[in-house]
Amino acid sequence: MRLRLEFTTEPFDLDVPPPHAVVAREVVEGGTLEGVEVGPFGNTAEGAAEEVVAAVAELLHRTLAAGATRISLQVSTLPEGGA
């Protein structure tokens, strides 16, 4: 099964990326996820279910430790072969 992850971390700062946003970028760009898009108002990535679930766990642990006060995420299934 393939999954698509969409998430944001808060608090926002458009002038300088806060540490939790930098950590979030490291998690999704440094792993095996595909279709990674990072932006100021949301981030997305896709991958095998096991990879996305592992990335979500790491994302939660690391961004909270880096000062995130809120993490909003959505995980959706994708048809085999991408979306």
Q: Is residue 27 part of a domain?
A: yes
* pLDDT the model gives residue 12: 87
* pLDDT the model gives residue 80: 79
* pLDDT the model gives residue 49: 97
CATH number assigned to the domain comprising residue 21? 3.30.70.930
Distance CA 35, CA 50 (A): 16
* pLDDT the model gives residue 5: 98
Q: Is residue 83 part of a domain?
A: no
Distance CA 77, CA 18 (A): 30
* pLDDT the model gives residue 81: 61
Burial of 6 (0-12, 13-18, 19+ CB in 10 A): middle
Q: Is residue 12 part of a domain?
A: yes
Residue 25's domain spans which residues? 2-78
Q: Point out the residues of the chain with pLDDT beneath 50.
A: none
